[in-house]
Structure 1
Amino acid sequence: MEKSKERLEILSKIEMLEKTKQWDISPENDPETIELKPNKVDYLNKKISSKIASYFANIMGARYFDKMLKNKQMIIENVLGIENYLAVKGGAIITCNHFHPCDNYAVYQAIKPYLNGRRLYKVIREGNYTNYPNPIGFFFRHCNTLPLSSNMETMKKFMSAVSVLLNRGEKILVYPEQALWWNYKKPRPCKSGAFRFAVTNNVPVIPMFITMRDSDIVDPDGFFVQKYTINILPPIYPKKDLDKKQNIEYLKNKNYELCVHTYEDFYKTKLTYQD
């Protein structure tokens, strides 16, 4: 089967971005970002209309993604380290490598039996919330998502919502690499945002790193569907003897270190980047 020219172009862009160390730049043809105004988002689902939309979006989303799993468009082969997730009883930031538009559902499936009726909240980019085509766009807007914004007033609402959710014991998934690099297997250096949320609210980070290998199934773009192993790594806690800036750096560096170790252990190769 001939491989998709669009996917090949994106893989070429990823190779270029790795060589130039532009770790947080998206190679995808993302929809144009429309500014998210404060009155266009209800982070905590306080409105009746938001509650209704969220209810139906979660039902529809579960059906959509469960169908992907059933049809082997997404394959979860293993979940390792669930004891690390269970060790954290309260709110936490979950981090994960970002390589597929639906990798958040793989994370959700890994911890779903242990959420005890709670939802997994996901931080998403502004354009995915304001301008992504349906049906995924509908899920982005209503499936327990926390969109970032270029509007400062909206970001104040965002930060307040993050604090409320963490303080009531929720788990929030953040992609610290920021950009989606399709089927990219290596860990990338992280941005600080996820770790700032953790330090500001004095909650731990639960790093996850998804490793993958080819299945024998070819997707519509001509590439092998990947089999995922979801590695849940030991939680990282802010240190009392460090100030806020130092703690952010500590969490960020430790998160990357754990992901590198997992990568090298799974793929049996030392992590190197192209020059």
Structure 2
Amino acid sequence: MTEEGRKTEAEEAAGEQPQRRKGTAERMWAPIKLHLDEDYQYMTKNVFLRFLYYFAMFVGMPFAYLFFKIRWGFHVIGKENAKLVRKTSAITVANHVHNMDSPMLTYVFYPSAPYFVALKHNFEAFIIGGLVRVLRGVPLPSDLKNFERFFEQMNDTLQNTTRKVHIYPEAEISPYCKGLRKFKNGAFHFAVKNDVPVLPLTFVFPKKNKINLIVGKPVYLKDVPGTEGLKEPKQTVLMCRYVKEQMQKMIDDYYGGLK
């Protein structure tokens, strides 16, 4: 692939970055700033971080899952669908509706959590930033030069491993929002580019201050009507639209069943 081609692809995906917001993590004390440069490993292979990850998953997360169950009545519906992508890499997407929805998502894949793409300030918040990094957080760069490296490492992970990468297509959190907001195309760009499935997940609220997670069936590009023979940008748009429709149906069916 030519340098010009790589730049074009990176620009397309970079255009899907969420706008900067004043979220919870950004309002927290950030004593150490994260510097992204040409040597930064987005999908880290650091042995010490791997040790901390497995320590957190096997020692800490079982207590966290118990807390989620007691505090929010957390329950997963359709967890068996995650097994359909167990032997392949995949993009996972979900509505972003709770401050703890990222660690909740890890329960679906336990003990092999997906990488979570998150805004840079989530890695700079005191204590929380370290936990985000340990639990496979991946910072989203804001400049084109670093995004090209991010893009290459994402491709390598999706093409050469069975890892999952989670991206919130709504980009911003909206606590306890029952409807889907506008989706950005970035997650689906990576899925189409690397020919990997998208696993849709939706958070729903059975009652006030309670939360469940529904795992849908994986969506492959071949499942999306009208994509055959189209160029990648158009396939990406159609994939985004189709997955959002499937997620909306999951939500509608759930709330319809509560009536």
- Normalising by the smaller structure, the TM-score range is 0.7 to 0.9
Contact 2:93 2:199 in 1 (8 A): yes
**1:124 CA drift (Å):** 0.9
The change in CA–CA distance for 1:40 and 1:255 in structure 2 (over 3 A counts) is same
Contact 2:141 2:147 in 1 (8 A): yes
Contact 1:177 1:190 in 2 (8 A): yes
Q: Give the structure 2 partner of residue 47 of structure 1.
A: 46
Contact 2:65 2:107 in 1 (8 A): no
Q: Give the structure 1 partner of residue 118 of structure 2.
A: 124
Q: Give the structure 1 partner of residue 167 of structure 2.
A: 174
Q: Which moved more, 1:188-197 or 1:28-37?
A: 28-37
Deviations 1:185-242 (Å, cap 9, x if unpaired)?
111120011001111111111111121122xxxxxxxxx43131x2222322224422
Q: Give the structure 2 partner of residue 86 of structure 1.
A: 83
Q: CA separation in 2, counterparts of 1:57 and 1:252?
A: 33
Contact 2:199 2:218 in 1 (8 A): yes
One-letter amino acid of the structure 2 residue matched with residue 192 of structure 1: N
TM-score (norm 1): 0.72
CA RMSD after TM alignment: 2.8
Q: CA separation in 1, counterparts of 2:60 and 2:155?
A: 26
The change in CA–CA distance for 1:25 and 1:50 in structure 2 (over 3 A counts) is closer
One-letter amino acid of the structure 1 residue matched with residue 232 of structure 2: K
Choose from 183, 191, 198 the match for 1:198.
Answer: 191
**1:57 CA drift (Å):** 4.8
One-letter amino acid of the structure 1 residue matched with residue 185 of structure 2: S
The change in CA–CA distance for 1:90 and 1:121 in structure 2 (over 3 A counts) is same
Q: CA separation in 2, counterparts of 1:154 and 1:49?
A: 24
Contact 2:203 2:211 in 1 (8 A): no
2:196 aligns to what SS in structure 1? coil
Q: CA separation in 2, counterparts of 1:47 and 1:27?
A: 30
The change in CA–CA distance for 1:61 and 1:26 in structure 2 (over 3 A counts) is farther
1 or 2, which has the higher strand percentage? 1
Choose from 151, 161, 177 the match for 1:159.
Answer: 151
**1:47 CA drift (Å):** 3.5
- Is 1:233 the counterpart of 2:231 in the alignment? no
Q: CA separation in 1, counterparts of 2:133 and 2:119?
A: 11
The change in CA–CA distance for 1:28 and 1:51 in structure 2 (over 3 A counts) is closer
Contact 1:100 1:181 in 2 (8 A): yes
**1:36 CA drift (Å):** 3.9
Aligned pair count reads: 229
The change in CA–CA distance for 1:47 and 1:107 in structure 2 (over 3 A counts) is closer
Q: Give the structure 1 partner of residue 8 of structure 2.
A: none
1:132 aligns to what SS in structure 2? coil
Q: CA separation in 1, counterparts of 2:162 and 2:92?
A: 13
Q: Give the structure 1 partner of residue 176 of structure 2.
A: 183
Q: CA separation in 2, counterparts of 1:246 and 1:202?
A: 14
1 or 2, which has the higher helix percentage? 2
Percent identity over the alignment is 22
Q: Give the structure 2 partner of residue 31 of structure 1.
A: 26
**1:24 CA drift (Å):** 7.0
